[in-house]
Structure 1
Amino acid sequence: MTAESVPKGGTRGSRIAAGPRLAIPARILAVGAYRPGRGVANAELSRTLDTSDAWIVKRTGIRRRCAASPGETVVTMGAAAAEKALAAAGRSVDAVDCVVAATMSYTGQSPSAAVQIARELGAKRVGAFDVSAACAGFNYALDVARSLIAGGSARHVLVVASERMSDLIDPGDRTTAVIFSDGAGAALVGAYGEPGIGPMTWGSDGSLAGVAGQDLTWAHFRDTPGCRGPYFRMRGPELYRWAISEMPAVALRAVDAAGLDLADLAAFVPHQANLRMIEAIADRLGLPGHVVVARDVEDQGNTSAASIPLAISRLKEECAVASGAPALLLGFGAGVAYGAQVIRLP
């Protein structure tokens, strides 16, 4: 070992090489969506629940939701959405360095959904892990992808949000059965010449855990003979009041962090919880009339973490907003956990 090869103040191996100080901008290059083929209209639900099409539309704005078949799993739906995102971006799976899956309904626990999605795609030697932040999961996973690219750990990250909420919902519970749905959305995030994903504003409040979440743990199910599996329960009116009172300020902080004003936005893509909530938050924000508000929930239902990428995909399909236009994303839900950022649409 020569004197020149020894770092000042120690011997080789005593320090971690810092590498170049990187802050590589990232952007969503493309999105992909997977919607199960079976649609469940309100009239079908009214045959087994004390409800009606008029009641559901008035309170939620939902007319239809998707129901996965036995073969449409969190993994297969997520992989199908990811394949569409890769195709839209003109990239092969070999370009992917990491897969980040956002899901609250994957019941396999281990190995992670992300690892299995990577396997389905044929991706090898890639990082893969899950993010659990319920309906804010896509926002969290997107910021993780941005950070991985900014730090030089990856050039392309697949963010896959996939939910099979039908596995968690009590079919006899009118509060949740009329709202939740199945589906997957994916975004390929890549290094780009200028920033396309703004700073994240986020938070959580565990004191509101009882407002939306599983009513039993899997351990309780395991240890209690004859016990049913955990169901996702929700106190809708409380969640509604919390969301419309707290989320506008979170959204405004994200716009400010991006160095923009509301007038600069082209679209608002909130978590597709229900239409009443979306419209109430948009109204309290005071969005200018030219801002397109995503309303994918009307025909898709609430797909938790998958709702935002699915809504972005529909805006793209309908050519409602131009590529490169700024859009405000806002996720919030069980936990409660929430997050927002401004992106440039792919």
Structure 2
Amino acid sequence: MTTGTDLPDAAPGLPTEPGTGGAPVLLQQRGHEYSRILALGAARGEIVVPNEELVGPIDSSDEWIRQRTGIVTRKRAGADVGAIDLAETAAREAIQKAGITADQIGVVLVSTVTNTVATPSMASLLAERLGAAPAAAYDISAACAGYAYGIAQADSFVKSGVADHVLVVGAEKLSDIVDPTDRSISFLLGDGAGAAVVGPSDTPGIAPTIWGSDGSKWDAIRMTSTYAEWRAGGEQPTIRQEGQTVFRWAVWEMVKVAKQALEVAGVTADQLAAFVPHQANMRIIDEFAKQLGLPSSVVIGRDITDTGNTSAASIPLATHRLLEENPSLHGGLALQIGFGAGLVFGAQVVVLP
């Protein structure tokens, strides 16, 4: 065993620097100067659930849900379809459109709060299904901000040389964790997955990310009980939110984050081609656009109308739809922002694939 004054000679082949006492200097790897989103993929639950099917248990109406949320229908998956299945479908589309093969992916990131087990991660199972193993793989638990978190990490991985290509997936089966009698959130939620392949670029494709959290508001969106309480005979944990708290936070605080994201990207609102916020609620989306002063030329993602709120999947799903319906947006700039349970948030400006 050596002490601080008895260091071994530098390892063969490793350089040494003056002033280090002969200690080896660790080699470093450098990646690509820039990264971008190369392609997107999408998958939605196959069952269309209109408002009329949900209003009975919550003593509500189709009109009330439309006025409060903008949702007409939501997509939900059948009993035999899991979030991992949706993730696989979305990922395969993104990989194919990116023009790469699964074995070229160095990292698989899955943002989800609805994995059916604590371990193994959904990401590791997805990597195996796709043929991406032995890619590094892990889940991100950042709820509705998870996709933005994943894009931030993918950007850094490509630039640092950790991987040439990173798969980022937001995948949720929220119908598994809703209480149909809960008036706060049950009628909002849908099932789906959105995927992106991030890879090298000759020009900047992902601007710096503004992200963070506010754990003091952890109970604004929460599970109703713990697994320990459930095992002890309590009710199954389901998701619930404090609607007014979330609305005020999303509109007033998240607008500040969105403006910061524009600032660090060096662009102004009128230079955007699209704005894709988390699909939480149409009233939030509309107020967001108003507070940002978006000109009419900016196309706004409004996938919530017939997909519902799909948490981590909502931004890539909404972006995927925008590009299908508006091909002229390809290559334009989009501001995307996710925000949700935690409370957590993340925003960045990206070049649309």
TM-score (norm 2): 0.93
Alpha-carbon distance in 1 for matches of 2:35, 2:148: 14
Match of 2:310 in 1: 303
| Counterpart pick for 2:236 among 229, 234, 237 | 229
| Counterpart pick for 1:143 among 126, 145, 152 | 152
Match of 1:97 in 2: 106
Mark the runs of 5 or more structure 1 residues left unpaired by the alignment.
Answer: none
CA offsets per residue over residues 287-327 of structure 1, 9 Å max, x none? 11111111000010000010000000101111254211000
Structure 1 residue 70: Cα displacement: 1.8
Alignment of 1:160-175 (within 5 A): 160-175=169-184
> Within the alignment, does 1:330 sit opposite 2:337 as a pair?
yes
Alpha-carbon distance in 1 for matches of 2:13, 2:116: 54
Alpha-carbon distance in 1 for matches of 2:293, 2:352: 21
SS in 1 for 2:322: helix
SS in 2 for 1:174: coil
- The 8 Å contact of residues 14 and 25 in structure 2, kept in 1 or not, is answered as no
CA offsets per residue over residues 251-297 of structure 1, 9 Å max, x none? 01101101111111010000000101100111111111111111000
SS in 2 for 1:109: coil
> Within the alignment, does 1:290 sit opposite 2:297 as a pair?
yes
Alpha-carbon distance in 1 for matches of 2:336, 2:176: 27
In structure 2, do the counterparts of structure 1 residues 10 and 88 end up closer, same or farther at CA, with 3 Å as the change threshold? same
Structure 1 residue 47: Cα displacement: 3.7
Alpha-carbon distance in 1 for matches of 2:12, 2:155: 39
Alpha-carbon distance in 2 for matches of 1:262, 1:80: 34
| Counterpart pick for 2:26 among 1, 5, 16 | 16
| Counterpart pick for 2:72 among 48, 55, 63 | 63
Match of 1:185 in 2: 194
> Within the alignment, does 1:210 sit opposite 2:219 as a pair?
yes
Query: 99-108 or 154-163: which moved more?
Result: 99-108
Match of 1:273 in 2: 280
Match of 1:133 in 2: 142
> Within the alignment, does 1:255 sit opposite 2:236 as a pair?
no
- The 8 Å contact of residues 76 and 120 in structure 1, kept in 2 or not, is answered as no
SS in 1 for 2:28: coil
> Within the alignment, does 1:77 sit opposite 2:56 as a pair?
no
SS in 2 for 1:256: helix
Alpha-carbon distance in 1 for matches of 2:196, 2:13: 46
- The 8 Å contact of residues 124 and 137 in structure 2, kept in 1 or not, is answered as yes
Alpha-carbon distance in 1 for matches of 2:310, 2:12: 60
Structure 1 residue 194: Cα displacement: 1.0
Structure 1 residue 46: Cα displacement: 2.2
- Percentage identity across aligned positions? 44
Alpha-carbon distance in 2 for matches of 1:48, 1:248: 34
Alpha-carbon distance in 2 for matches of 1:214, 1:108: 16
- The 8 Å contact of residues 315 and 321 in structure 1, kept in 2 or not, is answered as no
Aligned residues: 342
Alpha-carbon distance in 2 for matches of 1:113, 1:284: 37
Query: 119-128 or 150-159: which moved more?
Result: 119-128
In structure 2, do the counterparts of structure 1 residues 325 and 221 end up closer, same or farther at CA, with 3 Å as the change threshold? same
- The 8 Å contact of residues 45 and 190 in structure 2, kept in 1 or not, is answered as no
In structure 2, do the counterparts of structure 1 residues 48 and 16 end up closer, same or farther at CA, with 3 Å as the change threshold? same
| Counterpart pick for 2:38 among 29, 32, 53 | 29
TM-score (norm 1): 0.95
Match of 2:166 in 1: 157
RMSD of aligned residue pairs (Cα, Å): 1.7
SS in 2 for 1:173: coil
SS in 2 for 1:123: coil
Alpha-carbon distance in 2 for matches of 1:80, 1:87: 11
Alpha-carbon distance in 1 for matches of 2:29, 2:312: 35
